[in-house]
Structure 1
Amino acid sequence: MKSIILKTASNYLLPLLLLFAVFILFRGHYKPGGGFVGGLIASIAFVLHAFANGLQSTRKLLRYPPGAFIPTGLAISLLSGLAPMFAGKPFMSAEWLSIHIPIIGLLGTPLFFDIGVFFVVIGIALTILFTISETIL
Structure 2
Amino acid sequence: MNTLISRIAARVITPLAVVLGVLLYLRGHFTLGGGFLAAVVIGIAAVFRHITIGAKSVERLLDRGTGDVVGAGILLMILYGFAGYLWGGGFFASAELHLRLPVLGEVAVPSTLLFELGIALTVLGIVVAVIHELGGER
- Conserved 8 A contact 1:10-1:49: yes
Q: How far apart are 1:100 and its partner, in Å? A: 5.2
Residue 87 of structure 2 corresponds to residue 87 of structure 1: yes
* C-alpha distance in 1 between matches for 2:129 and 2:97: 35
Provide the secondary structure at the position in 2 that maps to 1:87: coil
Q: Shift in Å at residue 134 of structure 1? A: 2.4
For the residues of structure 2 that align with 1:100 and 1:40, how far apart are their CA atoms?
Answer: 32
Show the 5 A alignment for 1:96-115: 96-99=96-99, 102=104, 105-115=107-117
1:66 positional shift = 1.9
Is 1:43 the equivalent of 2:43? yes
Q: Which piece of structure 1 moves more, 65-74 or 118-127?
A: 65-74
One-letter code aligned to 1:111: L
Aligned identity (percent) is 25
Give matches, 1:117-136, under 5 Å. Answer: 117-134=119-136
Task: Give me the TM-score of the superposition, normalised by structure 2.
Answer: 0.89
| CA-atom RMSD in angstroms | 1.8
**C-alpha displacement of 1:82:** 1.5
One-letter amino acid of the structure 1 residue matched with residue 28 of structure 2 = G
CA distance in 2 between partners of 1:111 and 1:87 (Å) = 15
**TM-score of the two chains, using structure 1 as the length reference:** 0.89
In the aligned structure 1, how far is the partner of 2:99 from the partner of 2:84? 17
- Mark the runs of 5 or more structure 1 residues left unpaired by the alignment: none
Give the Cα separation in 1 of the matches to 2:28 and 2:133: 29
Structure 1 counterpart of 2:67: 67
Aligned residues: 135
Task: Answer yes or no: is the 8 Å Cα contact 2:14–2:49 preserved in 1.
Answer: yes
Aligned CA distance change for structure 1 residues 100 and 116 (closer, same or farther; 3 Å): farther
Instruction: Give 1:125 shift.
Output: 1.2
**Cα deviation 1:74-124 (Å, max 9, x = unaligned):** 122222222120233110011111225649x42222111101101000011
- Larger helix fraction of residues: 1
Equivalent in the alignment of 2:118: 116
**Kept after mapping to 2: 8 A contact 1:100/1:107:** no
